[in-house]
Amino acid sequence: MVKRNPKEVAVEDMTLADLHEMAVGFAMGSHDNGGEVIPTFTLLNAGGIDIVSAPWRDDREKHAAVEFVARKIAENFSRAYSFVVEMYVAQSKVGEPYVEPSKRHPSQRDEVLMVSTYGRDGSLFITRFLITPARGTLPAKLGPRVDVTAEEARQMQGRVFNLFRPYSDRMRANNGPLDGGYSRDGGRPH
């Protein structure tokens, strides 16, 4: 695949890959310029691009931000959207009770910068960067770029997976709006 510079692509010609590369560039630049990235959605609409930065302090605010963006996607009939966020990730063993990564001991989780881009047709791109924590006077650093495979993406879960689905379908998959948003179906498009 030949990568194009998203800055040189007209909005009406922008592909899902272009939107993803634009979001990756934004994420890397934001991290390099301040060390922290505010959760940000970029919506690709017929008439242009909408950017929604949505800092949140708790699950209620997170839910409100996600639902606001989902409504904007529906109202604008967005073709695609990307989401940039710093987050904790962890692996669970089969049969273990689920514990959110943010509630685990730091030795049992990693912090990543995640960029995910979703198309209305169910296609998606996910890129992540492991964040090496700041030590003393050394700032936090981004590790190498990892583009997630389709197989890995099917294993992933989250509140922002497939905001094209109707609200009731997403809430049923996530066991309600305020449960932490972890989808039982791996976030796969329906």
Positive or negative CA dihedral for 114, 165, 54, 187? negative
**Nearest-angstrom CA–CA distance, 65 and 71:** 10
Residue 87 is part of which domain span? 6-173
Starting at the earlier edge strand, list the strands of the sheet with 48-53. 48-53, 40-45, 80-89, 110-119, 124-132, 141-147
- Inside any domain, residue 116: yes
Q: Residue 161 above 80 pLDDT?
A: no
- Inside any domain, residue 180: no
Count the domains in the chain: 1
Mean pLDDT for the stretch of residues 63-86: 91
Share of the chain above pLDDT 70, in %: 80
- Inside any domain, residue 76: yes
pTM of the predicted protein model: 0.77
- Inside any domain, residue 189: no
Residue 186's CB is within 10 A of a number of other CB atoms, namely 14
- Inside any domain, residue 119: yes
Structure tokens at 2: 């030949």
- Inside any domain, residue 34: yes
Whole-number pLDDT of residue 178:
33
Whole-number pLDDT of residue 24:
95
Q: How confident is the model at residue 58 (pLDDT cuts 50, 70, 90)?
A: confident
Whole-number pLDDT of residue 190:
28
Alpha helix (H) residue ranges in the chain: 16-34, 59-76, 150-155, 167-173
Q: Residue 143 above 60 pLDDT?
A: yes
- Which of the two residues, 157 and 60, has the higher pLDDT score? 60
Kindly report the average pLDDT of the chain as a whole number.
Answer: 79
- Inside any domain, residue 187: no
- Inside any domain, residue 179: no
